Structure 1
Amino acid sequence: MRIRTRLLLLILAVLVPAFLGVALAVGYVYVEERRAQENSVKETVRAFSLLVDNELETNEGILHALAGSPALAEGDLDEFYRHARATAPLRGGAIALYDAAGRRLLDTRVAPGSALPERRLANIDTLARRYGADRTLVSDVFASPEGGHRFVIQVPVHLGGRIAYFLSMSADASSLQKLLTRQRFPEQWQAVITDRQGHIAARLRDPERFRGHLVGDAVLRSFAVVAEGTVSANNLAGIPMRGFFNTVPDSGWHVMVTIPQAELRRVPLHTAAFLGAIMTTLLVLAVAAARWFGQRAAAPIEYLGRSAEEMGQGREIAYTPQGVLEIDAVARRMAEASRQIVRAQAELERRVAEAVANSERAQTALMRGQKLEALGRLTGGIAHEFNNLLQTLTTALQMAALTSNQPKVQSLIETCRRTVGRATALTTRLGSFGRVQDARLLTVDPADQVRGSLQLLRGVLRQGSSLEVDCAEDVWPVTVDPLQFDLALLNLTINARDAMPDGGRLGITVRNVTLEPGAERAQGAHGDYVRVSVSDSGTGMPPDVLARALDPFFTTKEPGQGTGLGLPQAYAFATQSQGWLALSSSVGAGTTVDLYLPRSHQPLSPQSPSRGGTEAPRGAGRVLFVEDDELVRETVVRGLEQSGFDVVVAPGGDQALAMIEAGLDADVVFSDIVMPGKVSGIDLAGILRERRPGLPVVLATGYTDQRVAVPGVQVLAKPYEIDQLVDLLAGLARQE
């Protein structure tokens, strides 16, 4: 027997019984789908009947609330009339009060003292005789003399253990129409709400035309037999319909949803037809596939099997044509794939080696960043506390200089001020490994900055060493901390001096560079930069030393001859300036350090003018001074008050915010950044920008790990001169 015949019989033997089973399953699916659809509609109708019951109970709840009115218990019908009229439904509704004998005592549609209608149009009395008066009663729909159709809800009012009154509410039957509209029934469905006798109270379509009409006889007979069920009948257009009804609890009303018979059968029929079409298509495709495989299979298949086995063993396949186009194409691809697998194995080994090397570099960079972060937090915290002490000394010395005219005292004060200046420089170096300080950022010309440091750098180099500086024309400005810039150049020069014990050449070049995406040394960044290169002709570094050169406290110098913080400080400066540092070195060829600083589009920062003489600056206005350090508060407040300011002090951001919200009228706010409590100086500035946008804010900082991102807020570095502060606050107070 041919292989194609065997394949055909095999497929038919599997699919034909499966096809018969699916045919039975299609019939079962049709029946179950029909039953499930009917059950779903029944549940929908049952839920809808509960919605109607809930709507009626809402009105009943209003009546029960009125029944508990103190005015009704005290017999004050005039007061009760006002309560009832305020509670009556807005759309033509009314509330009436009857005594136990059924006489109408008041009606919200009639003014007190006017004649009340005697006859009740609703069948409440009939229902009371049938079901008892001591319960909530809902009447059937009736035609109102004012027009339209209404129904009435009545509840008994018990006083002293007996029925003293009856409260009733008449409502427009059209008020139930909104329940039908909210259900979003399908377009082919029809839904109605009827009373006990089958009068239509609300209808999904043409409600005004059919309201008050009776439903069909077949439906009425079904209503009389069971509380919920189905009924089949033709509608007015002669279309066979199937209705699903349910009785509303307590009231005895009914809700019914009718659906065309064809609509009920449509989904099950489509499902069955879809499954049948799929099975027929699969059977035809299976027979065709069996014939095709029978014609194409056999020897070529065995050949492919052998080729696959060889490829699985990692050997390269030798292609041999089989005379079948498809098999030959697969065989050629398998042969090509075997060659690619061999090449891919070599490529994979190479990439694994690169990935391992990249991972090691990333790990090294991560450890370096963690070390610098830890060092920055430690030194930054020390700098913050030290700057508060220096601020107290700076202000006190300036105040002393303004109040004393003795030359000896002035000389001592000037000596102390120079000492404070050296301490300020020390704290600045301590903060060099911390976060960038906004108060110290200036936009400068890097070429001028380098030229201004040449005298200091030449004093560091040994005799026999030369310093060559090459700055390009029109170098772009950069935004940096000038002191940290100078310190980075100084540290790099000291390292170069130690690498050239017998003298040598130190070169500093400043160039504009534009890095394209993917550039070799762009480190993921691109754009306009100023590159400051410091290169020496020293001994250079071997690879193991170069790998750790940027680690804090790592040094190859003898104990006591170096801290190992020179290169890390330059690295921290470049990173804090939104740039980076590139280091290259080889033994005997010297070392080159490139500082990449991003181009700034801001104008150059102006030089701070110096105040001559000892005349105290003057100011005016009210200053809210926020400072947690008691010593700083004591000295700065005295200086501001002597300069003419009215100073209000807050020991923290929380207290300052409370004072502002309590109505404090200040011309300018001067606050420290780092303070205890929930509100820091930056938070306070941001809140005031939203609540008091015209109030100037100045922040002072000795060190902070937060960036000041509030627009329009000026930042003053600690320690500051009191005259500098007075000039700044006075100018802002005048602007305000």
Structure 2
Amino acid sequence: MAGLAWRPGDGRRTGKPASCGVSVRLDPGEGDRDVADGEDVAAGGRGIAATMPAPASLRVAVSNRPARTSSSALGVRGRLLLAAVALLLPPLLGGALLLGGAYTRERRVAERHLDETAHMLALAVDQQLGQSQAYLRALIASPALAQGDIVALEAQARAIDLPKGYWFRLAAASDGRVLMNTALPPGTPLSGGQLGPNLRAALETRRSRVGNLFNSTVTNQQAIALHEPVFRNGAPAYILSLVMPSTEFTQLLTDQQLRAGWIGAVVDRSGVIIARTRDPERYVGQKARPEFAEAYAKQSSGRMPGVSLEGMPTIVSFRRTPSQDLVVAIAAPRDELGREAWRGLLLALAGAVALFALAMGLALRLARGITYPVEQLAARAAALGRGALVPTETLGLAEADAVAQVLADASQRLARSSAEQEEKVRAAVAEAESANTALFQAHRMEAVGRLTGGIAHDFNNLLQAVSGCLDMLLRRAPDDRSRDLIRAGMQAVDRGAGLTRQLMAFARRQALRPEPLDVADLMRTMRQLLMHALRADIVLEMVLPQGLWPAMADSAQLELALLNVAVNARDAMPNGGVLRFVAENVHLAPDQTEDALKGQFVRLAVTDTGSGIDPAVLPHVFEPFFTTKEVGKGSGLGLSQVYGFARQSGGTVHLDSVPGVGTTVTLFLPRAAAAPRRPSAPAEARPADRVETRTVLVVEDDATVSATVSASLRERGFTVMQASRADQALALLQDGDTIDILFSDIVMPGGMNGVELAKVARLLRPDLAVLLTTGYAENLPPLEGMRLLPKPYRMDQLLDALDALDALD
């Protein structure tokens, strides 16, 4: 409620002493900026290079403050100024005291007026309640009520000419059961009712009581009720209530015509706003601030500073109504109280300032004729501080002329020094701008990666559902033509899966399988593949030195990255050329790469002799879907896969290009701590007539994927149980049914992911085989020995993975 609560204001004053002595100043052109001793001039941080453009000039300046002399006596100008201040200070202080007293009196008068207004409003609200109580007592005196004839009583109640929105309600004193309600049409069945706190209080105190604000379900508006207990033979018989809309009290406050800017409000016992002059639709029904509620709970009247619900600082005066425990409050803006006194104070202050300025002007005019030579020296010292040349004209005073000559010589020396410093600062600014550009590009690539990773994740689930459906159709195809069409669809799914893998690679959300790799052996194995990807007019060269470290990376993704680089190089050499692969061991320091990598890495540099890349295009080459090729000749995902793979592997990728000369793409992969493992023997082919007896629990929140995978497994003889959430899967595991394999998605709703489900399942069933799957590898928890099948997968891949679980067991 506006004006009915307060919070203490606070203010802070901070200060920093001005720097004296020598400083460095940058002149960017239209304005000056002084940089105090010790401020960072290097690139970055809050230094000059991070906040200023390339400066037009750099000058070394001295303070404009006149140099101290060895004498402690005041000069002529200082003595004249001190005399003027001494003459003006007593009358200024006396006037300030008088104005302060006037302001205090004016404020007290305004506060008394605020209190009187609150008191009068409380009486008006009480009078309004008194009129309502008269309606109740007139109806209580009815013989029909004494005889218990509710029908006759209701007829009399409906005949009373009540204000609009008012209605009677009669309840039994024993249990609060509603006996009459004139807001409803005659004959409407009545139900419900109970003895609330206010009804019980009216019975216990044997006097009328105003209830709290409530939302009436009958009239669909906010209202309050005045309850009057009815006794027969000394015992409580009924409670007769008159319900009044809260708008009646808002209108009552509005009719008082408060001053502009003042806010009036009425609050019930529970601290809820019943009526308000400003924005009643917004604030009626809300709680008053706790500070205000605490204040009127302790005292029946008072005044305090506060802040309105609109955020306006106010002074609040409140009064409790004489006959009921309603609180009426008036809030006035703080700056309005004592405004006239402030106006007089400001006028007097302006006159004092004008008088003081006049006195100072006369004193300065008198001093000028005496201090002219000294001022000229000070002006020339200030010119020296700004970097300007000091004039050599004489001042008519031998000592002043000697000092002027020294200043002129110093200005020449400083001009030469400023040129050198300006060049250093310009270099620092250029370095800072380069660092800011690199940081912006890194943030931009990260944002694009998040977007593409999210799209690829959703697309993987769609591809998985399509792949499962096509697999089921293939098994049911009646002829070769149908099977060829289905296989074409499956090939399209594979191409879509390839695109999503490249998107996930750029976004660094693919499920990598890093392992120690013999890079030289991998590249020799790839030679034939690369030759097929290139043309006959391109010469392929490989430089693979002895003693090359093993790299820690996913072999399949590394092969794809090198192939993507090779294809881009081929397209950049339409007339043929040389494609050269060079591998070597490197030690990186943080300042050697933009990514601040540190440690031992295997560097793979791929260089072509093609057309090169336009410098304007270079910042975008790693962005997904960006390509300079014709429509239909490039997806724009090749280099984005290389970028994502390198960063997710713990390394990075750099691209250098010179138009007309060629391009070099350099991959940095971290050195593996262990030696490469030898390839294992190929797994035996799955028998076509194998009879399955295993039971698989499929846990997948995507209904389409779950249905297609489960149906395919059942066709191959598996017994399949399905669950869409981890808690459902745990319930099935605890039922005691035979379950051989848990096949679960990792990302699921419900608070428990697939990895956590597998850990709990193994505690319940230690012999349970577990296979996990996911189409989204960001923030993947440690699998701790569990196998992972990335989405989208084909059914033969799923069957091979399930068979591999048996081999592992």
Using structure 1 for the length normalisation, give the TM-score: 0.49
Question: Who wins on radius of gyration, i.e. which is larger?
Answer: 1
Using structure 2 for the length normalisation, give the TM-score: 0.45
RCO higher in 1 or 2 (8 Å CA, sep ≥ 6)?
A: 2
